[in-house]
Structure 1
Amino acid sequence: MDFKISSISTALDHKLWNKINSKTKPIGSLGILEKIAFQIGKIQENLTPEIKNPNVIVFAGDHGIADDGVSFYPKSVSYEMLYNYMQGGAAINVFSRQHGVNFKVVDAGIDHDFDPSLNIINKKIAYGTKNYRLGPAMTKEQCLQGFKSGAEVIETIQKEGCNFLAFGEKGIGNTSSAALILSLLADINLEECVGRGTGLNNDGVKSKFDLLNEALHKYNGGKDPIEVLTQFGGFEIVMISGAMLKAAELKMTMLIDGFIITSALLAASKINPKVLEYCLFAHKSNEQAHIKMLNYLNATPILDIGMRLGEGTGAMVCYPIIKSAIQFINEMASFQEAGVSESEEIETIR
């Protein structure tokens, strides 16, 4: 748990903005692209930032609470979807393939044994968490193992030359974990944190809330992130938190997806808030509580297009915008290079 995360240096701030503002355009006219280019340049401490060997990693784990019917789908969908991933048929496969992003799957705790030939990264802690309506989802030792395993995945990928990551998740019932994590760590009423998940109707949402509220009232622990994750987390959420902390330690840029992924980041930020400095927020999920989570983290999403699929799909749909930010800062001509007269405003900034 000793992640040594450095705050992003401000040494290049003036030079980065000078480069951005000197491009052949009115100041600020590329909107959020300018902020993205600036942040990635700061993270990489480089006036010509680049995305190297990008990866999207889907962590998967089953949840005991799913047995109580908190999801529209049965728990078996989790392992069935992993077969779909490995056959290339899921939305995350389509979008990562479209944009040339490496796709990996980690079995954090699926209630199924996969053939090693499927090339799924095996970090299985157990065959799913326990039902936290009846007791802790996992032991503290399992929680800490999850952090360690998530960090190990990132160490391996970084050694392969990756400097840019997006995370996805699969686990029927994991919006329930995310709702409880948000409620406890951000001190928000649980009713405001519970949403439709995989497509519950109003009665389904009420039943889901009742079950989670029962579990919350039985919880006697505090708001320490490890305690909260041990009681209510999923193995995939814990591993993603560990992966994020390690990625920040290694100065990698992270593109954050929706509700589940942001819940893992919320927990990670309670362990080391500097992790947030390495994050770009892809989109606002249509899961009702995601905007509350983003607001709590003081995060501005790049897109708001009604997505709530998970898997890292929001991040992959956003990825071309990130690429555009990198392209303009590196390839767009400056006023001087193009022989175009600069405005007095730019001269004043200098």
Structure 2
Amino acid sequence: MKKFKIKSPVMDICKAIQDKIDNLNKPKGSLGRLESLALQICLIEQKLEPTLHNPFHILFGADHGIEKEHVSVSPREITWQQMINFTHGGGGVNMFCRQHGFNLKIVDVGVDYDLSSYKGILNYKIAGGTNNFLYGPAMTNEQFNKAINIGSSLVFDCYNEGCDVISLGEMGIANTSPSSIWMSLFGNIPLDECIGAGAGLDKKGIDHKREVLHQSVDNFINKYKDTDAESIIRYFGGFEMVAAIGAMLRAAELHLIILVDGFIMSACMLAASKLYPDVLEYAIFGHCGDETGHKKMLHLMNAKPLLNLGLRLGEGTGAICAFPILDSAVRMMNEMNNFENANITKYF
């Protein structure tokens, strides 16, 4: 696997940041979460006047072999149909990108359909979906490395265009299944507590999904016994998920802010943190979604999501929806006056 140089932000500037926050013309701590968010952003960027230049949203699309076991209420063709819909500007992700000024990259890393004729989709297809992990690894080591490198290189492209905040999203029917397994194995949480309805399974469907995922994990454990994080990611992950991990790791290496979406992208950040723990220092979690287990998954990373709106669409919509809160934190640092300049007596 590609090596990344990821370190926690240097803390030397921390006192200066906190002093600036505390001396803005307001009661100390009165802007609550905006203050801690501003501190994190300033630490990531290593400056007292933070910026949110040229934000990019990268949406990775791919199909999953496990979908063939009917673990999702939605059929496989939804993946490619939605990818095409995104090129027409008709998706939820398109709406939020337009609203908040995000540049959108739509990337095919493994959709089981020929999308090469659609100019709005970047073609990085590794294969027409992963293998069915009920019977063996979802991808080969070579495919895993390709996915990591694709995500990494796309983030570097955004960085070269002046981007300092990256949001990531996914489109892949059945990708709650590998996410639930990653959550269970990485968090040492019973698998049943990690499995939900996904796109809308009923009780019978969820019970079937549990049976399939339990058998898949049992097969993996019986075959491999001692496993590392990379092996778990490769065995169960989707191409879009591994590409997102590569994107997250490169973004942290470049000291970019990483906006994390819902259940799937949180699972990717959890997996990324098992490879490079310091990646979490660069993550801002947009929301707590409505998928079973997301709250517990966020707790595993000590994450404090900005929103709780019952969202479960995916695509990165919850992350982009939270962007104005980051903007408010940055504006607080750059536009609020301080007590001295405003000739106001400190009142705390």
Counterpart contact for 1:96–1:103, Cα < 8 Å? yes
Rounded Cα–Cα distance in structure 2 between residues aligned with 1:82 and 1:117: 10
Contact map agreement 1:143 1:226 (CA 8 A) in 2 = no
Identical aligned residues as a percent = 42
Q: Which amino acid aligns with 1:189?
A: P
Say whether 1:312 aligns with 2:313.
no
Contact 1:254–1:279 under 8 Å retained in 2: yes
- Which residue number corresponds to residue 156 of structure 1? 157
Matches of 1:227 and 1:189 in 2, distance apart?
A: 20
- SS of 2:50's equivalent in the other structure is coil
1:97 matched residue in structure 2: 98
The equivalent position to 1:292 in structure 2, one of 289, 292, 296, is 296
Counterpart CA distance in 2 for 1:159 and 1:236 is: 22
The CA deviation string for residues 54-112 of structure 1, in whole angstroms up to 9 with x for no partner, is 01111111001111111111000000000110100011110110111111111110011
Q: How does 1:1-350 map to 2 (within 5 A)?
A: 1-219=2-220, 220-221=223-224, 222-343=226-347, 345=348
Query: Are the counterparts in 2 of residues 184 and 223 from structure 1 also a CA contact under 8 Å?
Result: no
User: What does residue 348 of structure 1 align with?
Assistant: none
**How far apart are the structure 2 equivalents of 1:247 and 1:200?**
34
Q: CA deviation at 1:337?
A: 1.6
Shift of 1:207: 0.9
Cα distance in 2 for partners of 1:149, 1:23 equals: 42
Q: 2 CA distance for matches of 1:230 and 1:13?
A: 37
User: TM-score, length-normalised on structure 2?
Assistant: 0.97
Tell me how far apart the structure 1 counterparts of residues 307 and 141 of structure 2 sit (CA, whole Å). 36
Q: Distance in 1 between matches of 2:228 and 2:201?
A: 30
Which string of whole-angstrom CA distances, capped at 9 and with x for unpartnered residues, describes residues 88-143 of structure 1?
A: 00111101101111111111100111134523122111100011112111111111
Quote the Cα distance in structure 2 between the aligned partners of 1:197 and 1:8: 36
In structure 2, the residue corresponding to 1:89 is in which secondary structure?
A: coil
Q: How many angstroms apart in 1 are the aligned matches of 2:315 and 2:120?
A: 18
For 2:7 and 2:66, the matched residues in 1 are separated by 37
Is the partner of 1:114 in helix, strand or coil?
A: coil
Q: Which whole-Å CA distance do the structure 2 matches of 1:35 and 1:339 have between them? A: 25
CA contact (8 A) 2:285 2:304 kept: yes
Distance 1:116 1:322 in 2: 37
Task: Kindly provide the amino acid, as one letter, of the partner of residue 340 in structure 2.
Answer: Q
- Following TM superposition, by how much is the alpha carbon of 1:149 offset from its aligned partner in structure 2, in angstroms? 1.3
- Deviations 1:130-164 (CA, angstroms, capped at 9, x unpaired): 11112111111111211111111111111111110
Give the distance between the partners of 2:255 and 2:284, measured in 1 at CA: 13
Q: How far 1:223 sits from its partner (Å)? A: 3.7
Tell me the secondary structure at the aligned position of residue 287 of structure 2: coil
After TM superposition, the structure 1 stretch with the greater mean CA deviation from structure 2, 281-290 or 110-119, is: 110-119
Partner Cα separation in structure 2 for residue 342 and residue 188 of structure 1: 48
Once the two structures are TM-superposed, the CA of residue 289 in structure 1 deviates from its matched residue by 0.9
| 1:4/1:249 contact within 8 Å kept | yes
Q: Which amino acid aligns with 1:255?
A: L
Give the secondary structure class of the aligned counterpart of 1:12.
helix
Q: Provide the rounded CA distance (Å) in 1 between the counterparts of 2:227 and 2:258.
A: 26
Cα separation, 1, equivalents of 2:280 and 2:123 = 28
Report SS of the residue matched to 1:261: helix
Q: Give aligned pairs, total.
A: 344
In structure 2, give the amino acid aligned to 1:246: R
Q: Does the 8 Å CA contact 2:56/2:165 hold for their aligned counterparts?
A: yes
Q: Contact conserved, 2:84 with 2:118, CA < 8 A, in 1?
A: no
User: TM-score when scaled to structure 1?
Assistant: 0.96
In structure 1, what is the Cα distance between the partners aligned to 2:227 and 2:76? 28
Q: Provide the rounded CA distance (Å) in 2 between the counterparts of 1:29 and 1:96.
A: 30
Supply the RMSD in Å over aligned alpha carbons: 1.0
1:184 and 1:116 map into 2 onto residues whose CA distance is 39
Unaligned runs of 5+ in 2: none
Please tell me whether the aligned partners of residues 147 and 241 of structure 1 are also in contact (alpha carbons under 8 angstroms).
yes
Contact conserved, 1:190 with 1:213, CA < 8 A, in 2? yes
Structure 1 unaligned blocks of 5 or more:
346-350
Q: Which amino acid aligns with 1:263?
A: A
**Contact 1:303–1:318 (CA<8 Å) still a contact in 2?**
yes
Q: Which deviations, in whole Å up to 9, do the C-alpha atoms of 1:268-316 show, x marking residues without a partner?
A: 1111101111011111111111111111111111111111111001011
For residue 179 of structure 2, what is the amino acid of its counterpart?
Answer: A
